[in-house]
Structure 1
Amino acid sequence: MTRAAYDNPVTINAALELHRVTKRHGHGETSVTALDDVSMAIPRGTFTAVMGPSGSGKSTLLNCAAGLDRPDSGAVVLDGHDLGGLDETALTRLRRERMGFVFQSFNLVQTLTVAQNVALPLEFAGRRADGRRVRALLGRLGLGDRTGHRPAQLSGGQQQRVAIARAILSEPAIIFADEPTGALDTQSAREVLGILRHAVSQEGQTIVMVTHDPVAASYADLVVFFADGRIVDRLPRPDAAAVADRMARLSAPAHAGGAR
């Protein structure tokens, strides 16, 4: 498709919409249905946690939502743009300009400073980062005195805060966070989750977070539970105990196997 396809929004009511999305891995008898006719919408300015047993389809959901995988059927609409109508060049551009990513492994460039890491996605998109804005953002995240440091000079929690700053700087339509606290100690995890919560509540950011941790999920506005590639439950205004209870039931033998 041409650039016009990228610039032609379908709807502006939600940051992310999935319409009857199905995704299979493999072929023939070895085929696994990772997402099975999934429909959901993520309102702007909300924090959604996605949970489920191992193999429930969480990672595939994130990959399809970000345009990294294409569904076999159904539609994914991000920031009003139908991803199915975009070629790889347009998808790459959309990811750079309208999506932010936070991973468990931080994914920082070790040879760059903190400030340079934060500005990197904008530079890839051909945009010049405002140094004052970068410093102000890092200051808000408690890294004002670390702008010239390399990642190896930071703690895990500090590195993850740099990754969050990198994701936030371009003011994306949505941030995808994949187990963002999985490599952190308890205190660092709470600090990172507090930053994500603040980004939603005070700055209107939209976040979708895949996690196995009921405490992490309790920071969200809504938890969406997956099993065998389908949405099986939703829990608004979650608390950690209720999330843990639901996860325990989903992880029972009846839900063993399924999607990736």
Structure 2
Amino acid sequence: MTRAPYDERVTNTVTAALELHHVTKRHGVGAAAVTALDQVSLSIPRGTFTAVMGPSGSGKSTLLHCAAGLDRPDSGAVVLDGRDLTGLDETALTRLRRERMGFVFQSFNLVPTLTVEQNAVLPLEFAGRRADGRRVRGLLGRLGLGDRIDHRPAELSGGQQQRVAIARALLSQPAIIFADEPTGALDTQAAREVLGILREAVTASGQTIVMVTHDPVAASYADAVVFFADGRIADHMARPDAGAVAARMARLSARGAA
């Protein structure tokens, strides 16, 4: 797999698709409060594939939610595609998510009454943008869905449904795609195919992807892995392989259990 170089330093908004500056997020109040993110600073360069890993409760899902503007940090700043999310109201955040972000979830989130093509172009329609039919069909064809365009989700395998979700995320040409356990509901073969598609989107098209995963094999498709523990970045790994990722996760989990 060809990987782009990964720079761990905080970069400027010309080269960074996403920046977090000293982001803190707490859940709960008083003595019961839990610090999910503790002064986290991170930069994701454009055109790279980053996996985020950590034990349960480490803060990785909160990171994704804050980065995507789905949750607001208590302090610090999130800058996405050069825009500071801190002062944006909900209307502006919704517009930014619609126009500059793509999402791929474990549960696919397809509309059961719509066809493959209709599901793929739905975000564009919500944004008031006209879909280029030739481009839509070309992308679906490259994703192995050329003969499934008029099918509905119930007529597709899990892997095919996730490919539709990826097409939906890619069609709006977002600054960044957030993927939350995108292979969690797939069998091994389908998962490898989906990960290959995500890898190709980065390598061939310069897409930026941030993927939360618990799977070392999935993480091995990324350019780099960021490991979280106790709400903080515990480690980085460039050019990961599955064995090294699994070993690092085992050490983190053992430390948390100690």
Q: Fold-level match, TM-score > 0.5?
A: yes
Q: Secondary structure at the match of 1:202?
A: helix
Aligned to 1:3: none
Alignment of 1:223-242 (within 5 A): 223-242=225-244
Cα 1:256/1:84, change in 2 over 3 Å: farther
Q: Secondary structure at the match of 2:192?
A: helix
Alignment of 1:36-185 (within 5 A): 36-185=38-187
Question: Deviation of residue 124 (structure 1)?
Answer: 0.4
Does 2:239 correspond to 1:207?
no
Name the TM-score, length of structure 2 as normaliser: 0.94
Distance 2:206 2:87 in 1: 28
Which of the numbers 237, 245, 248 marks the counterpart of 1:246?
Answer: 248
Q: Secondary structure at the match of 1:85?
A: coil
Q: Secondary structure at the match of 1:122?
A: helix
Letter in 2 for 1:251: S
Question: Deviation of residue 256 (structure 1)?
Answer: 4.2
Letter in 2 for 1:126: G
Question: Deviation of residue 11 (structure 1)?
Answer: 3.0
Aligned to 1:255: 256
Distance 2:90 2:257 in 1: 35
Letter in 1 for 2:149: T
Letter in 2 for 1:44: R
Distance 1:165 1:121 in 2: 11
Question: Deviation of residue 42 (structure 1)?
Answer: 0.2
Q: Secondary structure at the match of 1:197?
A: helix
Question: Deviation of residue 13 (structure 1)?
Answer: 2.5
Distance 1:115 1:131 in 2: 9
CA RMSD of aligned residues (A): 1.0
Letter in 2 for 1:143: L
Aligned to 2:17: 15
Name the TM-score, length of structure 1 as normaliser: 0.94
Aligned to 2:6: none
| More divergent stretch after superposition (34-43 vs 127-136) | 127-136
Q: Secondary structure at the match of 2:86?
A: helix
- The runs of 5 or more residues in structure 2 that have no matched partner are 1-11
- The runs of 5 or more residues in structure 1 that have no matched partner are 1-9
| More divergent stretch after superposition (172-181 vs 128-137) | 128-137
Aligned to 1:5: none
Does 2:33 correspond to 1:31?
yes
Distance 1:244 1:154 in 2: 32
Letter in 2 for 1:79: D
User: Post-superposition, which runs of at least 4 consecutive aligned residues in structure 1 deviate over 3 A?
Assistant: none
Distance 1:145 1:24 in 2: 47
Aligned residues: 247
Q: Secondary structure at the match of 2:16?
A: coil
